[in-house]
Structure 1
Amino acid sequence: MIFKDFSENELYLFMNGKLIYKRWLDTGVSKVFDVMAYDKYTLASIKEPRNENGLLIVKARIKLTPTENGGRKSGIISGYRPNHVFKYTPEGKLCQTYIGDINFEGENVMPGEERIATVRFLLVKELEQYLTKGRKWWLHEGPNIIGDAEVL
């Protein structure tokens, strides 16, 4: 059972009576309290205050999956934050997702298109091993793969 509650400036999300997510509406900062709630293993929020050393920044080629192949119906804009997946279990389940925002110049990137972008990840020690030139990863919205990326 999922329950939402609002105060003056805060959104709370409860699952089975347990607080799992909080968002401060004026700043956009959010915090995940129960990382196992949605089978999503994200450990922090990209909007949490951090210094410049708190981010891993890479150039990447982003390609969105065409709509007819199960991709999004609409494009994405600069600042979009999908789940980034570098590894799956042998059964095909996500091992871990990472938070990173995609930033590019110009118009929206539409399904089926590709664009060079800057991707900023929250600094998570395990993530560094994946960010080598030529490494590919997948972009997810929940369980759906909506594109892929490659470190340039």
Structure 2
Amino acid sequence: MIIRKEIKDDNELYLYFNGKLIYKRWLNLGYGKVFDTHAFGKYTDYSITDFDLEETPELIHVKAKLTLVTTEQGGRKTGIASGYRPNHVFEYQTNGQFKYAYMGDIQFEQTERILPGETKEILVRFLSRQPIDEYMNIGRKWWIHEGARKIGEAEILGIEFPKTE
């Protein structure tokens, strides 16, 4: 198993798994595209800040209510822990595939773990260099994915944007 990253023209990040392109990210635009959801889903522990950027982008903090899908309904067999970095999907295409998988990690304030079928309040930290602002509205729902598999649903309860100087 070989994972390789490549930055071309100081603007485009490419992530390869065993020689096959699985992910591309336009660094100046702040969004990416997943080409192989199965392979990429195995490696969602990586975030854009793990790829040697000179500075870490600011974060959008979103307080949300998260419900994990039960195992019987196709969700995970085990729960998730604080620091988990799934794919965050706000919109699907007409063919059922998602348009973009946004980067954000899930943090827990009052619990160690969320189990399948449970609902808890969480904090999600999204990278601010993503075209995600249009989705940042209280009451907005989005879906949590591991690759192509939907494992949860979240709803925005509150938002804290980075302070601009």
User: TM over 0.5: same fold?
Assistant: yes
Structure-to-structure mapping, 1:11-50, within 5 angstroms:
13-16=17-20, 35-38=33-36, 45-47=48-50, 49-50=55-56
* CA distance, structure 1, for counterparts of residue 111 and residue 22 of structure 2: 39
The partner residue of 2:61 within 44, 54, 57 is 57
Cα drift, residue 37 of structure 1: 3.7
* CA distance, structure 2, for counterparts of residue 86 and residue 20 of structure 1: 18
SS at match of 1:126: coil
* CA distance, structure 2, for counterparts of residue 89 and residue 19 of structure 1: 19
Gaps of 5+ in 1: 7-11, 22-33
Per-residue deviation, residues 53-109 of structure 1 (Å, max 9, x unmatched): x11111000110000000000000011110000000111111111010000122310
Gaps of 5+ in 2: 5-15, 25-31, 158-165
Q: Which runs of 4+ in 1 moved over 2 A?
A: 12-16, 18-21, 34-37, 46-49
Aligned to 1:108: 113
TM-score (norm 1): 0.73
8 A contact 2:33–2:100 mirrored in 1: no
- Percentage of pairs with the same residue: 41
* CA-based RMSD: 2.8
The partner residue of 1:147 within 152, 155, 158 is 152
Name the aligned partner's letter for residue 100 of structure 1: G
Change in 2 beyond 3 A, CA 1:46/1:134? farther
* CA distance, structure 1, for counterparts of residue 150 and residue 18 of structure 2: 26
TM-score (norm 2): 0.67
Higher relative contact order by CA 8 Å / sep ≥ 6: 1 or 2?
Answer: 2
The partner residue of 1:122 within 127, 131, 134 is 127
